[in-house]
Structure 1
Amino acid sequence: MTRDLRLGVNIDHVATLRNARGGALPDPVRAALLAEAAGADGITAHLREDRRHIRDEDIAGLMAAIKTPLNFEMAATAEMQKIALSHRPHAACIVPERREERTTEGGLDVAGDEARLAEFIAPLRDAGIRVSMFIAADPQQIAAAARIGAPVIELHTGAYCDYHAEGEMEAHKAELSRLIAGAKQAADLGLEVHMGHGLNYETVTPIAAIKEVRELNIGHFLIGEAVFTGLSAAIGEMRRLMEEARA
């Protein structure tokens, strides 16, 4: 089934829970299969340099088991490029990565690293991997992503969600306006637009309503909500809200 707005489910934090105790459970691959059955259009997994959640064997397991596309989140390093070229996932989302951060903070500085990133993504594109750049809704960054030949961008919704959580509603509305403008700019440049980071039931509707957006990637909230309602129910409710907003 082809949807106007796809949902990618990030299963990183199933691995976080597993790694907190050690051993093999809960299994991120099992979570990915449950997500597929519940209506996810794709699975996202971030293999960090320090392997704090997803591990190399998880990527191999996902590639072997899932039928929906794998979106492989990765830093722009030689090690990650080699792993991506080895597995050849459907998509590779290039993200900034710092060891001290708890989660991905802010977007990639494509404008400040244009030549290196253009060279870095070329082998991925040549291998048939759909490359996405994870960036802020900044006109310079969007234009730079188009110039280096990335067919997809994922706009960082973290600030939009943080302002909502903090009750800073004017800043929240301003950030939404930036995301709307960024999505339009990107679409006008021929880029496919995705969004993600920090989205939940309360914040997803205005983002899902942006007509240029083709995919949302949501993870931490869904895995947390699954503790209380189960993963299938959490994904089902998110899909319902997305489709209601789109309609």
Structure 2
Amino acid sequence: MTILLYDLVGRDEKLPYSPHCWKAKMALAHKGLAFETLPTRFLDIAQVENGLSKTVPVIRDGDRAVADSFAIALHLEGAYPDRPTLFGGEGGKAMARFVERWTQITMHPFITTAIVFDIFQMQDERNVPYFRSSREARLGKRLEDVSAARDAGLGAFRASLEPLRSTLSYQPYLGGHSPLFADYIVFGALQWARVSSPYSLLDHDDPIDEWFRRCLGLFGGLGAGVPAAA
């Protein structure tokens, strides 16, 4: 049975950009599971699976609906144990929890600063007022002013990624010789930026960028199949 994934989009349904939905997509592909994406905009989320969650991703797997990318990964690991592991055991789950918190604390705030105005410009007419009002209330300033500060913070952001950079300088993936869910957590953050904005977060000779390009090519180029923002 095909799994359904509610996937965040803006005006263009062919440009899914949510970092958390990308985590779920990569996890589904890693497990080799057939899935179909259901393009979902912000103001549609309240109707997803009878209001199961205030955010996406949400999946429908048979008679079960699951919200939250990490919960989805745990569900897939438990429901399909005969397929490639996302964690490699309990230690891998604990490691992935750390990577998720590190990514959300270290990467997401600056990426939000860098791309929030670009994401605003991706929204359809119905979602534009919602996105501006909700994000400006959260960030405390106009979206244009938020993104105007990105150049000043870029150097510090790149420096903050040194633990990731150092790790990837001696192994191809966070999971070791092959990717695990921890890789897809970080990949989701960078894919969010790649699809949403032409702003360059990384130098092209950065080991992180090399790793990211490897991840883009996984599963028949699942990530690369969505074009980068121009």
What's the TM-score once normalised by structure 2's chain length? 0.36
Q: Which has the higher contact order (CA 8 A, sep 6+)?
A: 2
Q: Which has the higher helix share?
A: 2
